[in-house]
Amino acid sequence: TDSLAHLSGVARRLAAGDLQARARAGAPQEVAALATTLNEMAAQLSQTIDSLRTEQARVASILAHMADGLLMVDERDHVLQINNAAERMLGVSAGEAPGQSFTQVARNHEMTECLRQAQTSRREQTRLIEQSGAYRFVRMVATPLQAERTGNFLVMLQDLTQIRRLETIRRDFISNVSHELRTPLAALQALAETLNDGALEDLPAARRFVARMDDEVHQLTKLVDDLLDLSAMEAGQAPLALRTEDIGAIVRRAAERLQPQAERAGVALRVDEAPPIAVRADAARIEQVMLNLIHNAIKFTPPLGVITCAVVQQDGHVTLSVSDTGVGISAADLPRIFERFYKADKARSGGGTGLGLAIAKHIVELHGGQIWAESEPGKGTTIGFTLPAVQ
């Protein structure tokens, strides 16, 4: 009976959750057999519980790391469970939501309404919801958990803000391209019509019109070339031909090419003296950046102004800059000038499409550098960028 008392003691400890409890083999034989069975059962139980714990931890970690928000709500609208993403999206602190009502936790009447509809119809409901305070755009899906037969609902929240932003960018992009195409096309059409309507007979006038048609075609070609260039770079299909180059030579070459234009515009174009500095760069691409920066400076600087190109080496990188004494860029426009098609000053842009700086930014970043702009309206502008120096 002593051994029996021992066995029932062990059984009680097991029942209470102490899965380490094991029975001593005792006599008589039947008791010994019982002890073995009890121990086997204990081992089995502890294994099962271990694997359940692992499984549960796995599910919990999936829920915690999911990008989508998930909540389980019972039939009385109380939140039973909520994951990190949902806490973040609804702005509740960790562990605060369980026990509160969904209405309280969501604080958004459209979300409450969506859950209500799912409950009434006992069918899945989907809704696109704007969380105005959080500037977030969310898709909510409320699903009855039929398999559970409990009246519980699963609420899923997907953050679509980024996707919507991309959608807006795409739409703006298409409307910008269409607009930029339409302007030269309309001009070409008008010029062709004028020629047809008799201007052809007037040779000097005809020559002028044809020259203007040529300009418009040039502008169309530049637009298409720039667009192809940008999309190739964005798709990673414009590999750089990196070589060790003297950066000063690239800057001087770009300045020389634009010297005649600067003279025609009545502005002085200077390149600061600098010792030879080696960089790893695609010379043609960096020249393209410099040409756009200098060309911009010429366009936006009135006669008698000065444009200065400078190269400075400092801790591990080289800084190139183009400064002008021109009209400048307002603080409101400054952060946007690197966007595709952005033109702060349409009148002076001289038929530019607003792609130049977007392309420049891509090229600089492909080189591992950074580009920025500083400006004081009425005083002038400096656009600078860095390139990693060769050590």
Residues near ligand ATP (CB under 6 A) are: 292, 296-297, 300, 324, 326-329, 337, 342-345, 349, 352-358, 381
Nearer to ligand ATP, 153 or 300 (CB): 300
**Closest approach of Cβ 344 to ligand ATP, in Å?**
3
Distances (CA, A) of 86 to 66, 107, 114: 9, 13, 16
Nearer to Mg ion, 313 or 349 (CB): 349
Q: Give the footprint of Mg ion on this chain (CB under 5 A).
A: 292, 296, 352, 356
Checking 130-133 for CB contacts under 8 A at 24+ apart, the result is: 131/89
282 binds, options ligand ATP, Mg ion, none, Cβ within 5 to 8 A by partner type: none
129 binds, options Mg ion, ligand ATP, none, Cβ within 5 to 8 A by partner type: none
Q: Tell me how long the chain is.
A: 391
- Roughly what angle, to the nearest 10 degrees, separates helices 283-299 and 356-366? 150
- Which residues, in sequence order, are bridge partners of residue 388? 317
N-term to C-term CA, the chain: 87
**Closest approach of Cβ 265 to ligand ATP, in Å?**
13
Nearer to ligand ATP, 125 or 325 (CB): 325
Nearer to ligand ATP, 68 or 339 (CB): 339
**Closest approach of Cβ 329 to Mg ion, in Å?**
12
Nearer to Mg ion, 157 or 293 (CB): 293
Is the CB of residue 287 less than 8 Å from the CB of residue 254? yes
326 binds, options ligand ATP, Mg ion, none, Cβ within 5 to 8 A by partner type: ligand ATP
Is the CB of residue 177 less than 8 Å from the CB of residue 100? no
Is the CB of residue 269 less than 8 Å from the CB of residue 255? yes
**Closest approach of Cβ 325 to ligand ATP, in Å?**
10
Is the CB of residue 251 less than 8 Å from the CB of residue 311? yes
Residues 6 or more apart in contact with residue 268 via CB below 8 angstroms: 262, 305, 306, 307
Strands 125-131 and 153-159 turn out to be unpaired
**Closest approach of Cβ 233 to Mg ion, in Å?**
16
Is the CB of residue 220 less than 8 Å from the CB of residue 255? no
329 binds, options Mg ion, ligand ATP, none, Cβ within 5 to 8 A by partner type: ligand ATP
Is the CB of residue 161 less than 8 Å from the CB of residue 183? no
Nearer to Mg ion, 87 or 180 (CB): 180
**Closest approach of Cβ 174 to ligand ATP, in Å?**
17
If we measure between CA atoms, which residue out of 322, 230, 242, 227 comes closest to residue 283? Answer: 242
Return the C-alpha torsion angle 31, 37, 42, 48, nearest 10.
-170
**Closest approach of Cβ 249 to Mg ion, in Å?**
23
Nearer to ligand ATP, 100 or 370 (CB): 370
Q: Which residue is nearest to Mg ion (CB)?
A: 356
354 binds, options ligand ATP, Mg ion, none, Cβ within 5 to 8 A by partner type: ligand ATP
Which secondary structure element, helix H or strand E, spans residue 376, and what is its range? Answer: strand 371-376
248 binds, options ligand ATP, Mg ion, none, Cβ within 5 to 8 A by partner type: none
384 binds, options ligand ATP, Mg ion, none, Cβ within 5 to 8 A by partner type: none
**Closest approach of Cβ 223 to ligand ATP, in Å?**
8
